[in-house]
Amino acid sequence: MVRLFGPLVGLFFAVALLWSFGNGAYSAISEPAAPTAEHEFHLHPKDVKFASDGAFGKFDKQQLQRGFQVYKEVCATCHSLKHVAFRDLAALGYSEAEVKAIAKEWGTKQPTFDPKTGERAERDNIPSDYFPTVYYAGQGSPPDLSLITKARHNGGAYVASLLTGYQEQPAELLKKFPDAKTPDGLYYNPYFANLNLSMPAPLTGEGQVTYSDGTKATVDQMAQDVSAFLIWSAEPKLDKRKQTGWAVLGFLLVATVLAYLAKKNVWADKKGE
């Protein structure tokens, strides 16, 4: 009996699955979803170019240092960078002494716990420590930025667009979708998925950061610099990966040519047989 009913049960579920799929497809075609403010007014990231883009791109260390400065002075109050260690900053061109100073002077200390006494305390950061977690007491839960450019499509351009995208809600949006008015405590940004987010514009004007290399700190410049830094934080070995990739491709090309020549040599005397 089990052998008899087993195929019938499987057939029943297969038919039910096909019916459900067909019914859903028919509904989607015959009754399309109503337009939403998010669908009509959400914008794709701007066309922002970075030095690390493309197969031959390389990080601009000067820009990465500027981006780290923006993160340190603007973003670090709310957003963590827990997957990056202070010693990793040496890859940006900082000396060992500079890395030690950055770690020691960082605003958030490393928590400690003494299992013998049960006491909790704090100590200064050292280069081998990862950036300490930021505990935010305001509205929402700011995301960790270590991998943000990997977690978002076209991540670097997305971050730069979001940072420079704050604006008043368009009158056309409010006219077409009266219920889509930005709630109190939120801020309109067309580059964010649902158009409204709890983070106010972090980059408020020119000169908010004073760059040590003399670069003019416009909002666009700061946004691009910190985005470049976050591209690096998400994939600090990007330069080496590209170099390794080209070396591997070169090896495979040479190996392919040698294999072809070896094949021609081995089978040269067999063609007439």
The binding site for heme c consists of 75, 78-79, 199
Q: What is the 3-state secondary structure (H, E, C) of the chain?
A: CHHHHHHHHHHHHHHHHHHHHHHHHHHHHHCCCCCCHHHHHCCCCCCCCCCCCCCCCCCCHHHHHHHHHHHHHHHCCCCCCCCCEHHHHHHHCCCHHHHHHHHHHCCCCEEEEECCCCEEEEECCCCCCECCCCCCCCCCCCCCCCCHHHHCCCHHHHHHHHHCCCCCCCHHHHHHCHHHCCCCCCEECCCCCCCEECCCCCCCCCCCCCCCCCCCCCHHHHHHHHHHHHHHHHCCCHHHHHHHHHHHHHHHHHHHHHHHHHHHHHCHHHCCC
Residues placed in the known binding site: 75, 78-79, 199
Classify residue 78 by burial, with Cβ atoms within 10 Å: 0-12, 13-18, 19+.
middle
Place of tokens 């997305």: 158
* CA pair distance 154, 141, nearest whole angstrom: 23
Task: Quote the distance between the C-alpha of residue 79 and its chain's center.
Answer: 13
